[in-house]
Amino acid sequence: MEKYVYIALFAPLVSSLFAGLFGMSKRRTFVGVIASMLLATSFFASAYLAYTVADTEKPIHITMMNWISAGDLVIPFGFVVDQISVTMMVVVTLVSTVVHIYSIGYMDHDKSFNRFFSYLSAFVFSMLILVMSDNFAGLFIGWEGVGVCSWLLIGFWYHKPDESTDVNPSISPSWAANEAFIVNRIADLAMLVGIFVLYWNTGSLQYDVVFPALSSLDNSILTTVAIALFIGAMGKSAQFPLHTWLTDAMEGPTPVSALIHAATMVTAGVFLVIRANPLYSMPDVSEVSFFIASLGTFVAFFAASMALVNRDLKRIIAYSTLSQLGYMFAAAGLGAYWIALFHLAAHAFFKALLFLGAGNVMHAMHDELDIFKMGGLKKVMRGTYLYMGIASIALAGIPPFAGFFSKDAIIETAFNEGTLVLWGILVVTAGMTAFYSFRQVFLTFDGDERYKAFDIHPHEMYKFVLIAMSPLALLAMIAGFFQGSFQEFITHLLPNYEMSHHTHELALYLGGLVLLFAVGGIALAYKKYANGLVRNEKLENGFIYQLLKNQYYIPAFYAEFISKPYAMISTMLWKSVDMKIVDATVDGIAYIFYKGGDKTRKMQTGNLSNYLNWMAVGLVMMLLVATFYALIA
């Protein structure tokens, strides 16, 4: 069984190294094909492991080698394949296989084709380390690894010049990449602190040692750890107030957005909370858990509201990712870990599909992303229209598609816990989700063909790309039916969460209400946008519209109150401290030696007699020193 674990884990690494060999040479299709095949291998191994784990109901725990062994600190390279990690592995490898195949078509004309595959596979490897590690140190390595790959891939087109924020809110790919990396570093600091506190108090980083030891820990320590780890999760999963990087990360190539910034990496925060469920479900940290649920609900609403008015195809989907991550945190915070994981998996399928569809549109529209300039694309892009329609229905939560089951379960959980405020917000957000998803679909594919004014001739994506996307479409449609069996599978490890009898009776009405909101949202979007774009100047210039359009002025706030003062302090320190003290000292030392050498150069007269005189002087001085020491001794 070990063999399959290693195949699943290392096939992406091999793929990355192989593609890396051709990193600097010209585009070669076989690099993409071999990378995709290795990823598929990894997927089949993961699927087999999932089958085995489900069959035997026992986790597979292997230790590859000892990594750090110093004093009492022992950290092995150990991997655990249990119900949680195997679910993540299957989702990650499946989506990444599809994305790899998709990229062969999407990156067809890019001169850095080979480099792209190298980064993409390296990301998958890091993500697998993250989910499979049996200790917090390994998790952290994977955590940083996916961060680096995310940075590399957001800034993949690093050569694009900077633009002003009016033209492009994320300025340039390299700017967006740096923003993502720096924001994540801030969060990672908190996470490191959490890990240190855990080690300090339990003496280990292994999950199976740490979690049983939690019950003997102090209340304040538990709270500190819970908060610190959650801040780490907030950074990676882009929760408020560290959310700005995710929409800017859309500067990366679309397959990257689909894989990293929708389906897998950003869910790592949710994964962390789920993995640390023994910690978060302790009564001592119930306030932290409730905070997680509240923040998740807030972000769900907050992000959905910004998606309502955005005109950028990819940014709308990015906001919807944020919003759905909020749902997952809401579920995890309320203790329904398995529902969070279920939504994570279902979301990964339809969100990746949605992004890949958006990539097709972008490809067809020659990198134009403004949905106000599209419309009527369904005539030329039937396949993509179908896929994006399926994904949007799933996202909006219309039965029997996947999103309905998972999202409805979360909303039901909020009701079941008696947190009616959260429940209300989540229900309203479900309506908003439906509205913005279909606003985007209708504006892109229906109505008048506005793109003609811009002299764009759209064309459908390659056939094999559309075929490669079909597994995601299938799963977006049917994943919901596996809710029952997934619950049975996962609750061997995660605490079960069942609705109370009371909720169960009301479930039909609750589901109906959510559905009503969702259908209402779609109907509203249809009415407003399906027959062409009618712009309402008064509404668009209104305060609320402008507020949402400018993302609640949060990026502007950060720029004004964090970036600018920081730049000012940095400039000041550079000019006064660095230039005048540090550099001056170093330059001064160099100057002394240079001048000393320059002055004493004249000793080198070339005249032997002079040299002999100097030699005599040296001899006399040494004699004097020797005499001096002889005398004092």
Part in contact with another protein (CB under 8 A); list of ranges 80-88, 123-131, 533-541, 599-607:
599-607
Side-chain-side CA neighbours of 447 within 13 Å: the count stands at: 25
Residues 158-197 close enough to bind another protein by CB under 8 A = none
Part in contact with another protein (CB under 8 A); list of ranges 289-297, 376-384, 509-517, 596-604:
596-604
Indicate the residue type of 362. M
Q: How far apart are CB 626 and another protein at their closest, in Å?
A: 16
Which CB sits closer to another protein, 165 or 613?
A: 613
Q: How far apart are CB 616 and another protein at their closest, in Å?
A: 6
Which CB sits closer to another protein, 216 or 609?
A: 609
Residue 437 to residue 321: CA distance in whole angstroms: 11
Cβ partners under 8 Å of residue 486, min gap 6: 338, 342, 345
Which CB sits closer to another protein, 574 or 614?
A: 614
Which CB sits closer to another protein, 65 or 608?
A: 608
Residue 426 to residue 409: CA distance in whole angstroms: 11
188 and 233 Cβ atoms separated by less than 8 Å = no
The residue length of the chain stands at 633
Cβ partners under 8 Å of residue 83, min gap 6: 53, 59, 489, 490, 492, 493, 494
Q: How far apart are CB 590 and another protein at their closest, in Å?
A: 21
* Contact residue for another protein among 616, 621, 622, 625 (CB under 8 A): 616
Planar angle of CA 37, 41, 42, nearest 5 degrees: 120
* Contact residue for another protein among 505, 605, 624, 626 (CB under 8 A): 605
Q: How far apart are CB 599 and another protein at their closest, in Å?
A: 12
* Contact residue for another protein among 164, 220, 541, 609 (CB under 8 A): 609
Task: Quickly list H helices, 446-578.
Answer: 463-478, 483-490, 501-529, 537-540, 543-549, 554-558, 564-572
Residue by residue, DSSP assigns 261-315 as IIISGGGHHHHHHHHTHHHHTSGGGHHHHHHHHHHHHHHHHHHHHHHTT--BHHH
Q: How far apart are CB 594 and another protein at their closest, in Å?
A: 15
Using CB under 8 A as the binding rule, whether residue 586 contacts another protein is answered as: no
* Contact residue for another protein among 601, 629, 631, 632 (CB under 8 A): 601
Per DSSP, the chain holds a count of helices (H) and strands (E) of 27, 2
* Contact residue for another protein among 24, 604, 630, 631 (CB under 8 A): 604
Burial of 457 (0-12, 13-18, 19+ CB in 10 A): exposed
Which CB sits closer to another protein, 209 or 616?
A: 616
Q: How far apart are CB 592 and another protein at their closest, in Å?
A: 20
* Contact residue for another protein among 508, 607, 629, 630 (CB under 8 A): 607
Q: How far apart are CB 618 and another protein at their closest, in Å?
A: 13
Q: How far apart are CB 632 and another protein at their closest, in Å?
A: 24
Which CB sits closer to another protein, 164 or 607?
A: 607
Using CB under 8 A as the binding rule, whether residue 606 contacts another protein is answered as: yes
The sign of the torsion formed by the CA atoms of 123, 124, 129, 132 equals positive
Burial of 17 (0-12, 13-18, 19+ CB in 10 A): middle
Indicate the residue type of 514. V
Which CB sits closer to another protein, 65 or 603?
A: 603
β-pair partners for 79: 62, 133
Part in contact with another protein (CB under 8 A); list of ranges 329-337, 352-360, 387-395, 611-619:
611-619
Burial of 318 (0-12, 13-18, 19+ CB in 10 A): buried
Which CB sits closer to another protein, 588 or 597?
A: 597
Task: Quickly list H helices, 494-542.
Answer: 501-529, 537-540
Which CB sits closer to another protein, 500 or 605?
A: 605
**Cα–Cα distances in Å, from 38 out to 3, 34, 259, 410, 470?**
15, 6, 17, 36, 19
Query: Per residue in 69-96, is it b (16+ CB within 10 Å) or e — as a string?
Result: eeeeeebbbbbbbbbbbbbbbbbbbbbb
Which CB sits closer to another protein, 508 or 608?
A: 608
Q: How far apart are CB 615 and another protein at their closest, in Å?
A: 9
- Encoded one letter per residue, x for contact with another protein by CB under 8 A and - for no contact, window 545-584 reads ----------------------------------------
Q: How far apart are CB 581 and another protein at their closest, in Å?
A: 36
How many other C-beta atoms lie within 10 A of the C-beta of residue 34?
Answer: 16
Part in contact with another protein (CB under 8 A); list of ranges 68-76, 375-383, 397-405, 603-611:
603-611
Q: How far apart are CB 610 and another protein at their closest, in Å?
A: 9
Which CB sits closer to another protein, 467 or 623?
A: 623
Burial of 533 (0-12, 13-18, 19+ CB in 10 A): middle
And the tokens for 328?
Answer: 């997952």
Task: Name the strand (E) or helix (H) holding 68.
Answer: strand 60-70
Part in contact with another protein (CB under 8 A); list of ranges 159-167, 448-456, 480-488, 606-614:
606-614
With CB under 8 A as the rule, give the number of residues binding another protein: 12
Using CB under 8 A as the binding rule, whether residue 608 contacts another protein is answered as: yes
- Encoded one letter per residue, x for contact with another protein by CB under 8 A and - for no contact, window 371-400 reads ------------------------------
Using CB under 8 A as the binding rule, whether residue 612 contacts another protein is answered as: yes
Using CB under 8 A as the binding rule, whether residue 599 contacts another protein is answered as: no
Which CB sits closer to another protein, 186 or 623?
A: 623
Which CB sits closer to another protein, 220 or 607?
A: 607
The one-character DSSP state at 496 is: P
Q: How far apart are CB 629 and another protein at their closest, in Å?
A: 21
Q: How far apart are CB 591 and another protein at their closest, in Å?
A: 21
Residue 492 to residue 225: CA distance in whole angstroms: 25
Indicate the residue type of 439. R
The residues binding another protein (CB under 8 A) are 601-609, 612-613, 616
